[in-house]
A and B are shown apart, each in its own frame.
Chain A
Amino acid sequence: MQFDWMKIPYALLTLFIVVNFGMILTALVAKIAARVGRRRGIRIWQNYADLFKNYGLRSSITHGAMFYLGPVFRLTGGIGLLLFVPTIYGSYVFSNLSFAGDLILALYFIFFGTLGMALGAAESGHPHAAIGVSRGLSQVTTAELPLALAVFSVALQYHTLSVTAIVAAQQGGIEHWTLFTNPFAVAAAMLAFLGSMMRPPFDVVSAPQEIPIGPPTEYHSSYLAMMQTNRAIFPIAKIVVYMNLFFGGAASWPVFCLKVFLIYMVSVFIGVVFPRFRVEQSIRWFLIWALPLGVLAIVLV
């Protein structure tokens, strides 16, 4: 796979599709969650209104250079993650910029945004931001562990780190999906997934009623808008990785949308049912429940 200039418009196209899909998907998910509470929930276009409003705010303040860079890091992380992984299997157009690196690149690029966001938030000087970061980083150490093990297991299983190759190996029927060929890895990865989606029971990071609202406390207007954009992209990008690794990837946009939605819903289902864990509780939870699955996955593969 080599670079050519057409990759750039194609990548932007992917980005455009995913941003919109993400906006709508998150609204939809919010609606579904509202229905659980017997509410109607937000309107499906609500995210657009919020986004426009935030970009449209007339005034803003800044706490310094890193304050700017926080959202930039965040969004770069989201877009980068999305673009470093092929979106649609077998499609040249939507293979994005995956020539730059393999699965490991994607895996580590997840942290790019996290780190940048943490820095930006800390620059604001708000103690809640720092507390939120402290919680988030603490939680992520064990939450990511099962994922890392699962990825290791999958890479061992398919003997490659190339995302495309991993998807290719899962073609030819649902029974070839990693979900069935390596269930422990998928189980571990899905538990890790819960931890990374900022939904209950693992949302103590932003805990709005306690440390309003964690890292982004000081963010507003276009900074916040940029982060909202990322909230639309990043989960999708992450789910794309999961989908490619464990659920056979997607060969077309409808399949893509369906799979992303379903995977997303896993965290929503869990989230609407469970109350919030404290940090040390969630750490223990991951160590006790998710880690053994991950270990089984790498032992048994």
Chain B
Amino acid sequence: MVKRLGALLLLLAIGGIFTSLLVGYVPDTELNDTARYYAYHTAADIGSANIVTAIVITYRGLDTLGEVTVLFLAAAILGLVLARGRRQAQARRALTPVGELLTTGSRVLVPLIMLLGVYVFINGHLTPGGGFQGGAVIASGVLLLLLAGPRKPFAHSLIAAVESLAGVFYVVIGLMGLVLAGGFLDSRVLPLGVLGALFSAGTIPIIYTLIGLKVGAEFSVMLSDLAETEELG
């Protein structure tokens, strides 16, 4: 009780800090220097219609590489953690059978979901969306598969290969930027093309594709890893 009261008081104080942040916040009326640079230069320099994508993949590409690595790490650690548990796998307990609805629905929906995912990451430089979103969409398809067929053998090695290769290529493209263009992760290794076209914005679509594959693979691995813990419960 005392602990909760203390927590409340502390959070009240933190809330005070937040309040003063809130009160002190005045929305910008003009874009600040950085944003203005992006607004002015993205089209010409990067050739990406989606400015956010340009920032994510190119200007702040290192962040994104980190981001991908975060997911990679999470997946790897998840694998580590759960792998240690899996060794003492116990007798499988009988699961309630999966319903007809789910099985059929998944058969219909999964290809569509996959397709949507691919669309989202390939068009990342043109429309809202991108590799992460696309990857997540793909993973949701995998989730559906998992739900529909919990006992189905899962192609771990394939997914792992996809994940690894995507990651390696991403790094290689980044290095190509360092060698061939203006710097690490510079997307202008390939020609910029026409603003708004599918094949434009240099390597951005490729990177987003790789990210999409990688994120999708990673999420899938995570999901399957977590799903396998069910057997313990």
When A and B assemble into the complex, do they touch directly, with CB atoms less than 8 Å apart? no
